[in-house]
Structure 1
Amino acid sequence: MIFDAFYNKKVTKNLPLYLVGAFIMLSFAGDLTRFKNLSVILMAATTIYFLFHNYRTALAPFKSTLSLCLLIFILTLFYSLLISTDPQLSIENFNKPILNGLLLFSFLIPVVLHKNTAVQIAIMILLSVAMGLLITYTRDLLIYIDDYQNGIIPFTARTHRNLSDSYVFCFPVILCLWKIYKKNSLIHWGVLLFTSIITIVFMLGTFARGAWLAALVMSAIIFIINKEKALALLGISTLICGAAILLSYKNAHEYPLTRKMEQTSSSNRYSGGTQGSALELILQNPIKGYGFGNDLFNQIYNSQVKNRPDWIYKKSLGPHNIFLSIWFAAGIAGLVALILLTIITINYAFKAFIASKDNVITAQAILFLMVSFIGWVIVRGSFENVYLNEIGIYFGLLIALTFRVSLEKTRKTI
């Protein structure tokens, strides 16, 4: 059903879809940086073409509250450069996550996709993310094979942790595709259970508890919104059984995976730990901020730690929280801008989901973006350092898709 729109004679109209879809898939491919950069260059060229052809139409997707809030947030990040205690260090940290990430992707993607229909964009999102998940499976499996050849037993090493970002981004697509294709047949249930088990096992192997929690929260939201009672019951039963097995497991603390599951604060987050010490540092200058960048945070932290015996870590591990990170960088203005942007994004996506409920594919694509954003920014971002450049993909796709939903809805009512 969702493949049909890609096989027609109007290749030129689908070219933007192929470019963005390829970029999303390559984002999960690891070492194929050259091809990813090529896809970005082609998207930039397409954007320039559309702007020269009809800039008003090309920029139409940005006439929204969401785009305005995103612009305000980006401006606060530029402000963090102006007030930085080490401008050179902040500028060095600013390039990839903001200029070549958040700002670039959130601008290029809506312009490139502004002529495609909502259904086409939704199909592209779901297919490219599903392919991204398959690529992540393959990469993870190859790492396990390499570990085995080097005598490393599965679930004992943290060589898979860098793949946790991909799992958090992609995981909800399984449940969204289930809603589209759901049939009460043995084959469909078998595919769902097999895919879910593979994903859960691989995610456990990342040792990233923030990713585990994000997966639970994202699943719960989708179960509630899609009214998946059977899946919710199955999920709760699995959690109960897993908890019972863990509690009855003797000497669980001797094994890396079970020990990780039992920990309540693996990085001593509070009091004098990562987040506690970061908050103390921020409260020394809460209004103005210090300037952008993890390197700047590490520099200031390491310079003060000798005078703070209550801080657990004598060398900075970072704030382990996206909200604290932005508060440190841009002061209270940055924190307020990020909170406002997060609230508006979720509200904007949910309204678009309601508006597109007459088309299950479009609705599920919007739901995927909303839930994945919640898992990435709110859940995982509250416990770990997350990359701002990935957020640009969310905003680019969400702005493009919600624009087309709104435009097509308006045309129907006229």
Structure 2
Amino acid sequence: MSDSYPLPKNWRCPLDPPAEYKRLRQEAPITRVRAWDGSTPWLITRYEDAYAALGDPRLSMDFRLPGLPHTSPASAARLERTLPFAFRSDSEYRVQRAMLVQEFSPRRMETLRPRIQSIVDETLDTMLAGPRPTDLMAAFALPVAIRVICELLGVSHDDHVHLHNLSCTIGSRDSPKEAAGQALDEMERYFERLVDETMRNPSDTLVGRVVAEHVLKGALSPQDAAAMFQMLFHAGHGPTAYMVCMGTLALLLDPAQLGEFLAVADDPRQLSAAIQELLRYVTVSHSGRQRVATEDITLGGQLIRAGEGVIVQIDSANRDETVFPDPDRLDIHRTPHRNLALGHGIHLCTGRALAFIELEVMFPTLFRRVPTLRLAVPLEDIPFKQNDNLLGAHEMPVTW
């Protein structure tokens, strides 16, 4: 039995995963840990085992199955509500994901690039005209990410602050089950109202198209549609905003790599590779992927019995020294790109094409328009969120 999960992290090195993961990868790559509720799921820390686990259909993400590990009270609170499709059986998941494949296709997402560029430029205009220092999260990363997903879904931008605050409650491991449940209830009611309104007044938005093609034709219930849109909003803005903040921090802390990044930013292929490395190095979604074995399975020589929970630790896998030489170093020119930051297997991030375009626009534009950007406080004075599902800061003061 290893330590209680999540394992302790040295916040003086906020971009690095807990140091204990390195020892576990070498000595006990699949080991038991104790979760907040007393359960003892298996923790997977090595890349090859994580890759195999994420691609194995015998490891399910169905939240309704006994044994699935809940890494926080907020996770457990989902069981009492309509589950978004990602937290259901693989068969249910595939059916609903198929309804979104065209909506998030690379070709369709590419048509959004000019609009995303406009949103980024408008947001930076406002930031540069405002006071210094400023909070990069509140002034840039979050406004851009929320405007993009709100416009895509057809959600009123007026509601974004409230919806983001609810998302923060849901995404915090500190939130009691009651508070997380209340936040989930409010999100559920909001998106149920949105679906109802869209059924009565069609719109040419993602929500409008899904409602017209699937809800009104009886293939998707209004409740399931609301759960789908709730998850798309939640997952469609937070990870991007946090990734921009923490990725910016990584580049500011390594001026040489920032220079290398800007040198390749005009080459689409090299820029894509640089974004991949930032995703690997930061791995902003640092809470383990939850799975449960539906039958006996052997991974990395370890027998996992049917009904036993599994946590796949992506940030550890992305720092595996047997796959990524010198893994604790940011290397903009690193190849090949095998990181698991956006998942693997059938649960590979649905919105990955959108996420890449946002990052490909936001990082270069920020550093080109604000070439003297720098931290406004010492690293040790940044208030990091130490118990959230996403790696981030309460605020990141910057100046120029």
TM-score > 0.5, shorter chain as reference: no
Higher strand share: 2
Using structure 1 for the length normalisation, give the TM-score: 0.28
* Structure of higher CA gyration radius: 1
Please identify which structure carries the higher helix content.
1
